[in-house]
Structure 1
């Protein structure tokens, strides 16, 4: 009997008892559907996490901040601490360690670091449009985030020009809903200096940003030059020297894959701590993978239950077709071919269940992703909840076929061992 004949015969045999076959296939479909959906969700969310990495900045950047001193106590807790003027200068308003100019110079001197951009917090009061309307400007984005920002119109700010972008949510302030209309607009930013005198800085709107789930693009974002100008103004106004401190700095690293460990070690020796974008988002990825594996575990339990259904279906089939098995053996079909025929029937059950289950899983995932991304979650730029991974789909189908084959080995072996004479006498 040729392979094509075996497959055709196996398919015909599985359809003899349509109800029993249908119930067995349904159990496989549930497992295949769940596996496809959960693996697609994991792939889609991890894909979006990867896009979030770029949304926080360039992949060759490292965020540097003061190292954590285990001996340091929070203000107001524990025993009194001895006062150190130098340490006090590097301590922020809430007792948090800050980077000083000396720290920035130290970072710049580390081999492998090509550029250091300190992050300064600017507190502005308002933004004034060309029409003279003023709007509260409670927060500003960080120029270091511009690399991962998605723009709906225009372009990202030139780091050395007095430019900025505004988010799409700010379009009503310019009396328009078309992002292109605000490109080239001149705006004025108002803020107070240390003497509480109102100062203003002019800038040009060069782009309109989309907001990502990371928050990047959700606030007006100044260029590096504009941010420095605003910071200089808010620290001016008094005839006193104000020591400049920074919460953290963004260091551009040359060949970060090869130099990451050495640079982190060099920073640690200076009492500093460096974190890459992957470090910051690694916990999120780990949680997503854990949840995906847990859900996949439930799907595997469903497939395990389906395997018992396959065993039961084929055992009943062997019992019902005892005389038929005896006739096939009497006509010259050997044990191996009988075993192969019933094993193929088990595999055919797996094929039907996996194709239907995987197809439904992909269909629901793609349709559901499109409905959510273009509907309730349309405001989140670049969001992906489900991704079709061909390799994962092939692995799911292969896993189901292996489970189906293994489940069919016991009934197939029982059929192959039957004595043809005893089988022909079976009533």
Structure 2
């Protein structure tokens, strides 16, 4: 009997006991359906994280901040004042900032090609052309490639431009994202003498919101950020030293990041790559996917026992038939192959139907959520299916079905034809 004949016979035998087969297929279907959906969630969210990583900053850069120097306990007494230490006022109090010596230290680390310091700028307010005023906090300069945009483009490095979030467009009085591009607003700064000055800023583009929380505030060009800081620190009767809340260290090879971060730590500075900052999202998502996958695997193992039970009962019911086949010259190996093919076919039915329905269901849910609950995160497809992974799920389930069918198949292959023909 050729393989094609074995396969045709196996498929026909599968439907001899339709009730048992259907129940076993349903058990496999549940596991494959769940695995497909969880795989889709993992692929979709990780794809979105990859897009966010690209938009959050340059992946070949290390973002450096000052770390409070650890000092010996002082019985809860006051900390001694250090005039050389820079500090920055934030909404959570005062924190150490980087000074020019720190920038030079970073620049001298082997593997660092250049350093872009970032100033802490605190505008007084933003004013539109129709005299509306809004509180304004500026995010990091938006020179990094990969920022996700709704309209327009990233500000030119040497321009007086900035990005505004899509959620700001209507409040600023613009009819659409496209209508906001090219328009101007005034950013009003107050210097150390209490004098206000308005800076005319062009809106170069409208940014999307992201999982990392970026693009939720306006993002200036580097030149504009520096210009605003210069005015902010002017008007004082004494010289104000340059203070930076962060510096971007551009490196030749991101593989050297570990060594560079270690050297920064020796200088009481902390370095983080984009992947470091967003890696926790990936870790959490992957952990959730693995937990959900474990439930699917349990369902598949239960289905495996169903296959064992189905085929054992089939072997028992077809004992005389097996004896007749062996008496007519069918080898034990072909009998084993016949029952193994039955198990594989049952696994294929359940996994193929489960995977197909999982892809359809996930695609529908993703579309509904993208236009509803997740509308604020453009570009996020909660379920994104990789054809290769879907095929691997089907093949994996078929392997499990084959392994589950080996016990009944071996029992059938070992049947003695004389005793089998006498079986009542």
Pairwise TM-score range, normalised by the shorter structure: over 0.9
**DSSP-derived class of the 1:148 partner:** coil
Match of 2:111 in 1: 112
Query: Quick one: which of 389, 406, 412 aligns to 2:409?
Result: 412
**DSSP-derived class of the 1:21 partner:** helix
Cα-to-partner distance string for 1:229-252 (whole Å, 9 max, x where unaligned):
111222222212223322221111
Query: Quick one: which of 87, 90, 98 aligns to 2:86?
Result: 90
**DSSP-derived class of the 1:172 partner:** coil
Within 1, Cα distance between the matches of 2:328 and 2:381? 59
Within 1, Cα distance between the matches of 2:258 and 2:229? 33
Within 2, Cα distance between the matches of 1:159 and 1:337? 73
Match of 2:316 in 1: 319
Cα-to-partner distance string for 1:199-225 (whole Å, 9 max, x where unaligned):
211122222222223232222222111
Of 89-98 and 5-14, the range deviating more from structure 2:
89-98
TM-score, normalization by structure 1: 0.93
Match of 1:376 in 2: 373
Within 1, Cα distance between the matches of 2:143 and 2:375? 22
**DSSP-derived class of the 2:145 partner:** helix
Q: Is the 8 A contact 2:38 2:292 kept in 1?
A: yes
Q: Is the 8 A contact 1:125 1:136 kept in 2?
A: no
**DSSP-derived class of the 2:96 partner:** coil
Note the C-alpha offset of 1:317.
0.5
CA RMSD, aligned part only? 2.0
Within 2, Cα distance between the matches of 1:226 and 1:198? 17
Alignment of 1:113-262 (within 5 A): 113-130=112-129, 132-144=130-142, 146-257=144-255, 259-262=256-259
Match of 2:22 in 1: 22
**DSSP-derived class of the 2:29 partner:** helix
Match of 2:63 in 1: 63
Note the C-alpha offset of 1:278.
1.1
Q: Is the 8 A contact 2:88 2:96 kept in 1?
A: yes
Within 2, Cα distance between the matches of 1:264 and 1:174? 41
Cα-to-partner distance string for 1:32-89 (whole Å, 9 max, x where unaligned):
111111122112111111112112101111101124544477xxx95325514245x3
Within 2, Cα distance between the matches of 1:289 and 1:389? 16
Q: Is the 8 A contact 1:213 1:381 kept in 2?
A: no
Whether 1:2 aligns to 2:2 is yes
Within 2, Cα distance between the matches of 1:176 and 1:302? 53
TM-score, normalization by structure 2: 0.93
**DSSP-derived class of the 1:291 partner:** helix
Of 405-414 and 267-276, the range deviating more from structure 2:
267-276
Within 2, Cα distance between the matches of 1:359 and 1:348? 16
Within 1, Cα distance between the matches of 2:362 and 2:259? 43
Note the C-alpha offset of 1:169.
2.4
Alignment of 1:297-336 (within 5 A): 297-336=294-333
Q: Is the 8 A contact 1:55 1:214 kept in 2?
A: no
**DSSP-derived class of the 2:249 partner:** strand
Match of 2:335 in 1: 338
How many residue pairs are counted as aligned between the two chains?
A: 421
- Change in CA separation of 1:308 and 1:173 when aligned onto 2, cut-off 3 Å: closer
Note the C-alpha offset of 1:409.
0.9
Match of 2:261 in 1: 264
Q: Is the 8 A contact 2:44 2:382 kept in 1?
A: yes
Of 185-194 and 154-163, the range deviating more from structure 2:
185-194
Is there any run of 5+ residues in structure 1 with no aligned partner, and where? none
Is there any run of 5+ residues in structure 2 with no aligned partner, and where? none
Q: Is the 8 A contact 2:62 2:272 kept in 1?
A: yes
Q: Is the 8 A contact 2:143 2:157 kept in 1?
A: no
**DSSP-derived class of the 2:258 partner:** helix
Note the C-alpha offset of 1:8.
0.7
- Change in CA separation of 1:178 and 1:144 when aligned onto 2, cut-off 3 Å: closer
**DSSP-derived class of the 2:185 partner:** strand
